[in-house]
Structure 1
């Protein structure tokens, strides 16, 4: 599950499938915030509102057991 979410969020720049958005860190843009999975988490910043020109994830930070594995930015 973590491998799928890793690939989707850091390579395809989409929201994770298996991890769930933490309500306390959620922003009001439709998807930015911290997503928690079993043993991993993903911090996402993106454009998810219908009026946004380039929709999807713009920044993703992937953590496994609290250690940062990858930080990626979409150009």
Structure 2
């Protein structure tokens, strides 16, 4: 296989992954900002039906809240959004 062709294919694939990561990250950010759970993530340590760490493609969302049916005020209470492990935004809901 031609070296230039291989480099071009790898570059296109990396560009596609970068665009996909940015689009899903922005979409999930606005969902969490609206006090909804993210869609394009994998919950890793979700414990009470929603609180925990959610990993996306290049980003991480830490959610704390009341998700059990017996809670008086259910929903997201605190969110920390990180990109590549660096905290970017913290949101506290009242």
The TM-score with structure 1 as length reference comes to 0.86
Q: Which has the higher contact order (CA 8 A, sep 6+)?
A: 1
Task: Flag the structure with higher strand content.
Answer: 1
Aligned residues: 71
The TM-score with structure 2 as length reference comes to 0.70
The CA RMSD over aligned residues, in Å, is: 1.0
Task: Flag the structure with higher helix content.
Answer: 2
5+ residue gaps, structure 1, are none
5+ residue gaps, structure 2, are 1-23
Q: Which has the larger radius of gyration?
A: 2
Moved over 4 A (4+): none
CA deviation string 1:18-43 (max 9, x = no partner): 11100xx222x111100000000000
